[in-house]
């Protein structure tokens, strides 16, 4: 069996100008970064149908959500449909940490993969620079007299590599700006969220200025606008806000732009990229991070609300291996175990119920099939889902590319044409912040209720009540405890604190022991990488 690298090296990529021409994008609207990457200016005049790809809660076995997203797009093209992808950019944190690259796998990949997984067009570096420029300007303001009388700085520095040692540090030691400091990973920074939710450059500048950086001596919020930082930050981000165009191995255009994590941020690619894909193609396939309890909920309740978007169909990805894992099986996942499979399917059912019952959207389950999967296991899964009125379709994108997703493509296209109900949000903005969090916990996670710490209650009392809520929670469980898998019941969610992201336009509620700066694993992917004669191995 060929490796991802061998498959990618054999692929004959087209110049990005040819890929753009497929969408009707003129060369004058391209800013090329080499032969196979470009920034895109402007929009098309189509009004495509939006397809959201999400998944069950992640397991060590893997689900292949990005692979299915890419394979589905390739399948739509193979069946003669005009399609475009809109995906997130990989972060160096997972690339060098535990996950590896995020460009798909096998014959369902976006390319050039090495570039996409590493520095790409520099967007994440620009976000990091803008974030840390603001931090430097805050400390500089304090050094030169502190005219705004800043007493507490709440703004964090960031970087795009996992480094637990930077979670809590002491900065400015020996100088008049000495204080406790914190680093977040770039994907969790508010600048990332702001860039991904901005409608244009002016909106970006306004949102950057609205970001809260601390409190003054009277307890009033101090903003980046008061520090006079938003113009310089916008200058750093003027190119980063433009969506990037690449391609799949089968030549499907793909906008890859923005990279917030779904466990600690809102988990979706930029509004710019999604709107571009919709404007240039009849079908736009996009993806939300991690399981549907995090990525899809935030995509629908935050991104769709902000951008006025509404999916025409939802795909929920699962593998039999992952379902067995969710059911408690820890070894020999390729072997049959109907008991664990049925238990794991309960987790899938919860996500299906959320999409169809809470958000009122049509969905199909994509079974990312492995060669070891037995037909009887597939039939068991199909029968379990029939009771919910949901179809399960096998896809073999990794092994066959678009040819392995033709049935899935037809099923998704059929769903988009038969959509009858309007999407509903899980909560309304006029409800209190506490009520919104409780609704998400009960409706989406299946919790009995929410425990708010005293700090969380005090935080909520200080902040506006008419904003969406972004819950930062472990991706591995419907609960706030990563060790509780499957579809648990009889649990509560604990909210430790709430943060106001005025630029992004939402509140972040921290559930359980979630970290805004991840650490490297005992054996990070970086240890298994090499480069010889310019050839990189171990990156994917």
Residue by residue, DSSP assigns 229-247 as -HHHHHHHHTTTTSPEEEE
The whole-number pLDDT of residue 9 equals: 65
Report yes or no: 85 and 346 within 8 Å, Cβ to Cβ.
no
Beta bridge partners of 158: 184
- 414: pLDDT confidence band, cut at 50, 70 and 90? very high
Render pLDDT for 126-157 as a digit per residue (tens, 0 to 9).
999 999 999 999 999 999 999 999 999 999 99
Q: Is the pLDDT of residue 3 over 70?
A: no
Contacts of residue 379, Cβ cutoff 8 Å, sequence gap at least 6 = none
The proportion of the chain whose per-residue pLDDT surpasses 70, expressed as a percent, equals 98
pLDDT tens for 56-96 read: 999 988 889 999 999 999 999 999 999 999 999 999 988 89
Is pLDDT above 90 for 515?
A: no
* pLDDT of 378 over the 80 cut: yes
* 14 conformational bin, left if phi > 0, alpha if psi -120 to 50, beta if neither: beta
> Has residue 539 got a pLDDT over 90?
no
For residue 499, with 0-12 CB atoms within 10 Å meaning exposed, 13-18 middle and 19 or more buried, which class applies? middle
The pLDDT, as a whole number, for residue 6 is 64
pLDDT at 318: 96
Question: What confidence score (pLDDT) does residue 5 get?
Answer: 63
Q: What is the mean pLDDT of residues 209-226?
A: 97
User: What's the whole-number average pLDDT of the chain?
Assistant: 94
pLDDT, position 80: 97
Instruction: Give me the active site residues, please.
Output: 65, 67, 88, 99, 262, 290, 370, 398
- pLDDT tens, 430-487? 999 999 999 999 999 999 999 999 999 999 999 999 999 999 999 999 999 999 999 9
Please tell me which of 98-102, 367-371, 440-444 the model is most confident about, judged by mean pLDDT: 440-444
Q: How far is CA 49 from CA 46, 57, 71, 110, 139, in A?
A: 10, 26, 17, 21, 47
Reported confidence tier of residue 50, pLDDT bands at 50, 70, 90: very high
Kindly report the pTM of this predicted structure. 0.95
Q: What is the pLDDT of residues 380-394, one digit of tens each?
A: 999 999 988 999 999
Beta strands 38-40 and 30-32 are antiparallel
Asked if pLDDT for residue 10 goes beyond 70, the answer is: no
pLDDT at 98 over 80: no
| Lowest-confidence region among 40-44, 56-60, 93-97, 424-428 | 93-97
Identify the pLDDT of residue 12.
87
What is the reported pLDDT for 173?
A: 92
């Amino acid at each position: 069996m060929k490796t991802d690298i061998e498959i990618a090296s054999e692929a004959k990529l087209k110049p990005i100008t040819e890929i753009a021409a497929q969408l009707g994008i003129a060369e004058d609207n391209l800013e090329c970064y080499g032969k196979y990457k470009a920034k895109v200016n402007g929009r098309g005049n189509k009004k495509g149908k939006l397809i959201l790809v999400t998944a069950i809660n992640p397991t060590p076995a893997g689900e292949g959500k990005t692979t299915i997203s890419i394979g589905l797009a390739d399948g739509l093209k193979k069946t003669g449909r005009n399609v475009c992808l809109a995906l997130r950019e990989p972060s160096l944190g997972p690339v060098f940490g535990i996950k590896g690259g995020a460009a798909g796998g096998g014959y369902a990949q976006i390319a050039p993969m090495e570039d996409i997984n590493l520095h790409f067009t520099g967007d994440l570096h620009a976000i990091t620079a803008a974030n840390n420029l603001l931090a430097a300007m805050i400390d500089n303001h304090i050094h030169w007299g502190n005219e705004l009388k800043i007493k507490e700085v709440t703004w964090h520095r960031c970087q795009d590599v996992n480094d637990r040692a930077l979670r809590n540090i002491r900065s400015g030691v020996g100088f008049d700006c000495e204080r406790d400091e914190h680093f977040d990973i770039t994907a969790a920074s508010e600048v990332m969220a702001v860039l991904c939710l901005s409608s244009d450059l002016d909106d970006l500048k306004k949102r950057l200025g609205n970001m809260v950086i601390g409190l003054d001596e009277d307890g009033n919020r101090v903003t980046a606008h008061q520090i006079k930082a938003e113009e310089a930050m916008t200058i750093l981000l003027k190119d980063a806000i433009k969506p990037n165009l690449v391609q799949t191995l089968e030549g499907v255009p793909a906008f890859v732009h923005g990279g917030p994590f779904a466990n600690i941020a809102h988990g979706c690619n930029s509004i710019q990229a999604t709107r571009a894909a919709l404007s240039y193609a009849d079908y736009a396939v996009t993806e939300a991070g991690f399981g549907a309890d995090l990525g899809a909920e935030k995509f629908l309740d935050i991104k769709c609300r902000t951008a006025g978007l509404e999916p025409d169909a939802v795909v929920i990805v699962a593998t039999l291996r992952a379902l067995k894992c969710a059911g408690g099986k820890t070894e020999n996942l390729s072997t049959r175990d109907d008991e664990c499979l049925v238990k794991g399917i309960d987790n899938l059912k919860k996500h299906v119920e959320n999409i169809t019952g809470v958000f009122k959207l049509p969905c199909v389950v994509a079974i990312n099939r492995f060669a070891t999967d037995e037909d009887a296991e597939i039939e068991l899964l199909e029968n379990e889902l029939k009771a919910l009125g949901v179809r399960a379709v096998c896809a073999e994108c990794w092994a066959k590319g678009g040819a392995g997703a033709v049935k899935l493509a037809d099923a998704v296209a059929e769903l988009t044409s038969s959509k009858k109900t309007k999407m509903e949000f899980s909560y309304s903005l006029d409800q209190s912040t506490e009520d919104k969090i409780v609704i998400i916990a009960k409706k989406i996670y299946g919790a009995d209720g929410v425990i708010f710490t005293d700090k969380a209650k005090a935080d909520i009392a200080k902040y506006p009540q008419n904003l969406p809520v972004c819950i930062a929670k472990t991706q591995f469980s419907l609960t706030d405890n990563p060790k509780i898998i499957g579809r648990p019941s009889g649990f509560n969610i604990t909210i430790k604190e709430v943060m106001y992201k005025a630029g992004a336009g939402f509140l972040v509620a921290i559930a359980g022991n979630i970290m805004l700066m991840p650490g490297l694993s005992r054996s990070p992917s970086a240890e298994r990488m090499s480069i010889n004669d310019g050839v990189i191995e171990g990156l994917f």
